[in-house]
Amino acid sequence: MLQQYDPKNEHILVYINGALLPRKEAKVSVFDSVVQGGDAVWEGLRVYNGRIFSLERHLERLQNSAHALAFRDVPDSGFITQALFKTLQANNMRDGVHIRLTLTRGEKITSGMDPRLNQAGPTLIILPEWKPPVYPPEIALITSSVRRNSPMSLDSKIHHNNLLNNILAKIEANHAGADAGIMLDKDGYVSEANGVNLFCISKNTVYTPHADSCLPGITRALVLELCRDQGIPALEKNLSITEFYTADEVFTTGTMGELTKVFEIDGRKIFNKSGISTLEKIQQGFKAQTETGGTPLPF
Ligand code: PMP
């Protein structure tokens, strides 16, 4: 497994609507919308060296997701920032931390789907864990038979908690002994892997699928910006799985695992014909950003 239980997290304090609760007591109601229908939005954030990395981008995506789902009485980003600071301070966490930030539609007056049953306002959950980047240096992928949602069904631009589409792809990867499952879009082009965005590099040009069916990842956006800053050609494009099999380098991006090299897809080894690693250059640039960038913690 890419992630494991860490006993260091046994005594963490979790924020739920203003209260800081020990792990065992940190619970939501059976009437909460996230239990009733996966009706929630979320972000995964990282704390490096006393700073919350890309905080503004994560809060912007959270607000946009909540707005798209017509949540009401959403706390503003200033309030959520203060709640994040308070939670990290209570846990004395300044580095090597991953935060799962969740905003549910809140508690319902009776079980049911209708958002009009939500009359108590949303539930804000901040779950910080000691969890440095967890992926191994290289991973193997398979192509899943599960297609990634297109905007025709559930728009992947909403970062919601209805994750079954991706969980089904992950189950397939587990059965195949791979680390993650590549999900194609409705037309058969590569969309993303079940929990990370995908890039390939061919002849020193970096490619990633259009963000039509994949989550527009924040790490994905940072990599595209970093390539442009470093003069590395980078394009968003429809890409078939064959273009990934035959690329010089393939890598995944995400807050949890940062930039991770892929050594194999569906049993095809990824061979670097160019002899130079553009990925290493991008990884160095990204590391430099995590060492200095982000919103400083006030404690
Ligand atoms: N794709 C999916 C499906 C994800 O859940 C995530 C992580 N939230 C990502 C990609 C990576 O996004 P980010 O770089 O914003 O962490």
* Residue minimizing CA distance to atom 11 of ligand 1: 254
> Of 21, 78, 88, which Cα lies nearest the Cα of 52?
88
What's the gap in Å between 253 CA and the centre of ligand 1? 8
Domain residue ranges in the chain: 10-130, 138-291
> Of 208, 20, 219, which Cα lies nearest the Cα of 133?
219
Note the pLDDT of residue 29: 98
Note the pLDDT of residue 136: 87
Note the pLDDT of residue 101: 98
Query: Measured from the CB, is residue 44 less than 6 Å from ligand 1?
Result: yes
Query: Measured from the CB, is residue 192 less than 6 Å from ligand 1?
Result: yes
What's the gap in Å between 47 CA and the centre of ligand 1? 16
| Residue 99 and residue 44 in contact, taking contact as beta carbons nearer than 8 Å | yes
Note the pLDDT of residue 4: 87
Note the pLDDT of residue 100: 98
Looking at domain 10-130, its CATH class is alpha beta
Note the pLDDT of residue 133: 85
Q: What is the pLDDT along the chain (299 residues), one digit of tens a residue?
A: 888 899 999 999 999 999 999 999 999 999 999 999 999 999 999 999 999 999 999 999 999 999 999 999 999 999 999 999 999 999 999 999 999 999 999 999 999 999 999 999 999 999 999 998 867 889 999 999 999 999 999 999 999 999 999 999 999 999 999 999 999 999 999 999 999 999 999 999 999 999 999 999 999 999 999 999 999 999 999 999 999 999 999 999 999 999 999 999 999 999 999 999 999 999 999 999 999 999 999 99
| Residue 131 and residue 252 in contact, taking contact as beta carbons nearer than 8 Å | no
> Of 43, 59, 54, which Cα lies nearest the Cα of 99?
43
C-alpha gyration radius of the chain? 20
pTM: 0.97
Query: Measured from the CB, is residue 99 less than 6 Å from ligand 1?
Result: no
For the domain made up of 138-291, give the CATH fold.
Answer: D-amino Acid Aminotransferase; Chain A, domain 2 (3.20.10)
What's the gap in Å between 278 CA and the centre of ligand 1? 22
Distance CA 266, CA 260 (A): 17
> Of 255, 251, 204, 250, which Cα lies nearest the Cα of 231?
204
Q: Which atom of ligand 1 is nearest to the CA of 221?
A: 14
Q: Which of 131, 191, 196 to mutate to test the pocket of ligand 1 (most atoms within 8 A of CB)?
A: 196
What's the gap in Å between 151 CA and the centre of ligand 1? 17
Question: Which structure tokens are listed for 286?
Answer: 């990204």
